[in-house]
Chain A
Amino acid sequence: MRRYLPPTVLLAGLIALWEAACRLGHVPPFILPAPSTIVATTWRLRNYLFVVHLPATLKEVAIAFAISLVVGVGLAVLMHLWAPAEHALYPLVVASQTIPLIAIAPVFLLWFGFGLGVQVAAAVLWSFFTVTVNSFDGLRAADPDLKELLRAMGAGRWRILRLAEAPAALPLFFSGLKVTAAFAVSGATIGEWLGGERGLGYFGRRMSATLNAPAVFAAALVLALLGIACFMAVAWAERAAMPWQRRRTAAAGGLATPPPPSAPQ
């Protein structure tokens, strides 16, 4: 719990400062609503936010996350096992991150229509990169001596992948997947802004059209909470999938393990 203290204190301080600035500086709420106003608005609009729009966004995020996971791991394994695939695909995977989502979105609209398609496509394009690259790097991080031992034991390529490379890839894979989960939320939001009929991003866009800043911030608040929740869900899965890491943490006196190499940006 102790490690959550500094960020909590910092956040509380910033919110207090924001609140004070709004109240003392007489900033009009349509420019910058006070945190208390945002919370009150969120509560007032709870029916729209949580019953109508949150499920829509959640559905897009879940679909996009699943696609990113499957595509990302699939590409990583393919590139890992087959060098020509790596040479052909890796530059394209990197290049996909340079595509400005806003610029390509109209094409997505043409392709996928106003339904779920645009949001999911935007979220996948926005989020599959980290899980792909991290999984790929993770597979290559396996101990070469262990791989040689397995070869000497008579293991073939697939068995080495399953017994040595896949488990060794887990730490990097999960640190990439956490980022992917959070990015899937922001990607879906962008998709909703560009063309949607439902979802928190769509709601935010509609509210901004009427200069209803508190409602825009309320939608953003719920989106931020959703992103954090997705991140934490993956973090929980990470702990469940790697019990040996948990034991190592416990052995180190409850201190956090050194953070794994962060996702390439």
Chain B
Amino acid sequence: MFRAENGFGLTLVPDLGNTSVGKWRSKMILTCGRSYRAAAIVVRRDGDRGMSERVLELAEVRFDYGGLPVLNGVSLDVAAGEFVSLIGPSGSGKSTILRLFAGTEQPAAGRVRVQGAPPRPGGVGYMPQKDCLMPWRTVLDNAALALEVQGVPRAAARARAAGHLADFGLAEFARAYPHELSGGMRQRAAFARTVLGGHDTLLLDEPFGALDALTRAEMQVWLLDLWQRLKKAVLFITHDVEEAVLLSDRVYVLTGRPVTRAAELPIDLPRPRRYGTVLSPRFLGYRQELLALLAPAMPAAAGGGDR
């Protein structure tokens, strides 16, 4: 995938250790077997066309559940470094779309691509709806899980995770067990586990759904900040209109059963955004537009009023 060859048999491989900046270091492996780092080599990914590179792509996808179509002819895409939200009522197939990209579900028809290739497990960072922290592992060991699954030896995975816990505000909780943490902390630990997997694309399934309003607002700002630093592509599921507008570059609205089309709404608000952004008139404009797009899914609200 990220392979370039020259006359020396130069192979470029991703260094998963360099997750905080999300760049690719190159390791030069000569055909004679000796290897050393050549950090000065500038790597361009295959098909890199700046921001237009599509890291996630769904084209005319159909997915059936229990014999009934959930998605039928749905297309959407996410570009490198972009923050895209999926919003829609329960059962509209949002989580299914993430699982299609994660490679744990297969479409009945259509095309699913992750960085130009068919999805495979382990190809993207996936954060499910529940935090799924292992109760028998400390925060540090939970954060190191994705690295371990990738085959990094336990001690090395822990050492690498330990160096990054501070980025997630978890440095003092490295040895705590999940049940000793607050809801917001648990989410941060789940984020740490996802981000430390080292992928450039993150699938986040409603990470703030179970949090109280104050923690949620705090975590939204925290995530914005994290995303700004990591420059990773994010596909984010939410039920919350404000959350979608506040965080996203673009929002896809899924309505109907089956969902036949993902309506797209670009959010052109300046970045960096802060929580105060929710008070700006343009924010309110986007919010109303989004509610209008969601109206088919909300028969009770169709008569008027903005909720």
Which residues on A are within 8 Å of B, measured CB to CB? 143, 145-146, 148-155, 159, 163-164, 167-168, 170, 242, 244, 247-248, 251
Give, as a whole number of angstroms, the nearest-CB distance from B73 to chain A: 25
Find out whether the CB atom of A152 lies under 8 angstroms from the CB atom of B180. Answer: no
Which residues on B are within 8 Å of A, measured CB to CB? 99, 102-104, 120-123, 126, 128-130, 132, 134-137, 145-146, 148-150, 177, 179-180, 197
Q: How far is the CA of A235 from the CA of B102 in the complex (A)?
A: 41
Among B126, B177, B180, point to the contact of A149 (Cβ < 8 A).
B126
Interface CB pairs A-B, < 8 A, 18: A148-B128, A152-B121, A152-B122, A153-B126, A153-B145, A153-B197, A154-B123, A154-B149, A155-B121, A163-B134, A163-B148, A164-B134, A167-B134, A167-B136, A170-B136, A244-B135, A244-B137, A247-B180
Pick the 8 closest A-B CB pairs, nearest first: A154-B122, A152-B102, A152-B126, A154-B121, A153-B149, A167-B136, A244-B177, A146-B132
Find out whether the CB atom of A153 lies under 8 angstroms from the CB atom of B121. Answer: yes
Among B102, B132, B146, B177, point to the contact of A145 (Cβ < 8 A).
B132
Q: How far is the CA of A168 from the CA of B135 in the complex (A)?
A: 9
Q: Which residues of B contact A163 (CB under 8 A)?
A: 134, 145, 148-149
Residue in chain A with minimal CB distance to B98? A152
Q: Which residues of B contact A153 (CB under 8 A)?
A: 121-122, 126, 145-146, 149-150, 197
Q: How far is the CA of A154 from the CA of B128 in the complex (A)?
A: 14
Contacts A153-B146, A244-B136 known; list 15 others, CB within 8 Å.
Answer: A146-B134, A149-B128, A149-B132, A150-B149, A152-B99, A152-B102, A152-B121, A153-B126, A154-B149, A159-B149, A167-B134, A170-B136, A244-B179, A247-B179, A248-B179
Give, as a whole number of angstroms, the nearest-CB distance from B144 to chain A: 11
Q: How far is the CA of A244 from the CA of B139 in the complex (A)?
A: 12
Q: How far is the CA of A192 from the CA of B130 in the complex (A)?
A: 53
Q: How far is the CA of A145 from the CA of B127 in the complex (A)?
A: 11
Q: Is the interface of B mostly helix, strand, loop or mixed?
A: loop
Find out whether the CB atom of A251 lies under 8 angstroms from the CB atom of B132. Answer: no
**Which of B128, B130, B132 has the most chain A CB atoms inside 10 A of its CB?**
B132
Residues A152 and B179 in contact in the complex (CB < 8 Å), given A143-B132, A242-B136: no
Find out whether the CB atom of B180 lies under 8 angstroms from the CB atom of A251. Answer: yes
Q: Which residues of A contact B149 (CB under 8 A)?
A: 150, 153-155, 159, 163
Give, as a whole number of angstroms, the nearest-CB distance from A156 to chain B: 9
Find out whether the CB atom of B103 lies under 8 angstroms from the CB atom of A152. Answer: yes
Give, as a whole number of angstroms, the nearest-CB distance from B148 to chain A: 7
Find out whether the CB atom of B104 lies under 8 angstroms from the CB atom of A151. Answer: yes
Among A145, A167, A247, point to the contact of B130 (Cβ < 8 A).
A145
Q: Which residues of B contact A155 (CB under 8 A)?
A: 121-122, 149
Find out whether the CB atom of B128 lies under 8 angstroms from the CB atom of A251. Answer: no
Residue in chain B with minimal CB distance to A148? B104
Q: How far is the CA of A251 from the CA of B126 in the complex (A)?
A: 31
Q: Which residues of B contact A248 (CB under 8 A)?
A: 177, 179
Q: How far is the CA of A251 from the CA of B177 in the complex (A)?
A: 11
Q: Which residues of A contact B120 (CB under 8 A)?
A: 154
Q: How far is the CA of A164 from the CA of B132 in the complex (A)?
A: 11
Q: Which residues of A contact B130 (CB under 8 A)?
A: 143, 145
Q: How far is the CA of A163 from the CA of B136 in the complex (A)?
A: 10
Find out whether the CB atom of A151 lies under 8 angstroms from the CB atom of B121. Answer: yes
Q: How far is the CA of A150 from the CA of B103 in the complex (A)?
A: 12
Q: Which residues of A contact B123 (CB under 8 A)?
A: 154
Q: Which residues of B contact A152 (CB under 8 A)?
A: 99, 102-104, 121-122, 126, 128
Q: How far is the CA of A244 from the CA of B180 in the complex (A)?
A: 10
Q: How far is the CA of A227 from the CA of B286 in the complex (A)?
A: 71
Q: Which residues of A contact B121 (CB under 8 A)?
A: 151-155
Give, as a whole number of angstroms, the nearest-CB distance from A172 to chain B: 14
Find out whether the CB atom of B179 lies under 8 angstroms from the CB atom of A251. Answer: yes
**Which of A154, A155, A159 has the most chain B CB atoms inside 10 A of its CB?**
A154
Q: How far is the CA of A247 from the CA of B137 in the complex (A)?
A: 12
Give, as a whole number of angstroms, the nearest-CB distance from A243 to chain B: 8
Q: Which residues of B contact A148 (CB under 8 A)?
A: 99, 104, 128
Q: How far is the CA of A168 from the CA of B133 in the complex (A)?
A: 12
Q: Which residues of A contact B103 (CB under 8 A)?
A: 152
Give, as a whole number of angstroms, the nearest-CB distance from A224 to chain B: 34
Q: How far is the CA of A167 from the CA of B145 in the complex (A)?
A: 14
Q: How far is the CA of A178 from the CA of B264 in the complex (A)?
A: 59
Q: Which residues of B contact A164 (CB under 8 A)?
A: 134
Give, as a whole number of angstroms, the nearest-CB distance from B277 to chain A: 32
Q: How far is the CA of A159 from the CA of B134 in the complex (A)?
A: 14
**Which of B103, B149, B177, B180 has the most chain A CB atoms inside 10 A of its CB?**
B149
Q: How far is the CA of A238 from the CA of B200 in the complex (A)?
A: 41
Q: Which residues of A contact B134 (CB under 8 A)?
A: 146, 163-164, 167
Q: Which residues of B contact A154 (CB under 8 A)?
A: 120-123, 149-150
Q: How far is the CA of A155 from the CA of B103 in the complex (A)?
A: 12
Q: How far is the CA of A248 from the CA of B122 in the complex (A)?
A: 32
